[in-house]
């Protein structure tokens, strides 16, 4: 797995309109997220549709709160380890929101957002960890990101976000 012009070779590309240019062009951190749509359901088309900007919020009763929401991540890792890339790593995805950690704010400006399909409480899968570790390895090689700058959404938005949650095994990632 390698990165060329901001795109991961192993990922299927799905264009997201919910992105823009990084103000300083810096890529120096990774934020690990988790999500499922509807909450607790895996494998459907909803996450991809949300990030691609074509989610029909009337298609399921649990999607109504997302009407008009404009968010994206750089990358989604499905339960089976499949990779979907929505925004080039060179661009700014809209994944972090209001954020403050390690003396830095505005984490969308310099971080790569990786969504794992999951919940805060369910364990993630072996294929997800294998894919995530491969992505991290490629990002370290391409951008020089260090372990101190691989964090969870809950780290940069404490009190507002809880993902990737207690179901995420940081030791499994840090040891790789």
- Indicate which residues carry an active-site annotation: 115
- Tell me whether strands 83-85 and 75-77 are parallel, antiparallel or unpaired: antiparallel
What DSSP line would sit under the chain, residue for residue?
Answer: --EETTEETTSEE---SSEEE-SS----EEEEEEE-SSTT--SSSHHHHHHHT---TTSSGGGGGGTT-----SEEE-TT--EEE-S-TTEEES-S-S-EETTEE-GGGTEEEEEEES-SSSPPPHHHHHHHHHHHHHHHHHH---GGGEEEHHHHSTTT--TT-TT--HHHHHH-
């Amino acid at each position: 797995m390698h990165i060329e012009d901001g795109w991961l070779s192993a990922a299927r590309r799905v264009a997201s309109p919910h992105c823009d240019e990084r103000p300083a062009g810096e890529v120096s951190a990774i934020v690990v997220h988790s999500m499922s749509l509807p909450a607790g359901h895996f494998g459907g088309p909803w996450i991809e549709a949300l990030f691609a900007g074509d989610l029909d919020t009337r298609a399921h009763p649990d999607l109504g709160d997302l009407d008009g929401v404009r968010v994206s991540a750089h990358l989604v890792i499905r339960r089976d380890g499949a990779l979907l890339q929505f925004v080039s790593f060179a661009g700014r995805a809209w994944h972090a929101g209001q954020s403050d950690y390690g003396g830095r704010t505005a984490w969308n400006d310099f971080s790569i957002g990786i969504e794992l399909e999951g919940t805060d409480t369910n364990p993630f899968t072996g294929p997800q960890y294998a894919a995530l570790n491969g992505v991290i390895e490629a990002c370290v090689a391409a951008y020089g990101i260090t372990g101190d700058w691989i964090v969870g959404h809950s780290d940069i938005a404490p009190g507002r976000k809880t993902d990737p949650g207690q179901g995420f095994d940081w030791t499994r990632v840090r040891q790789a």
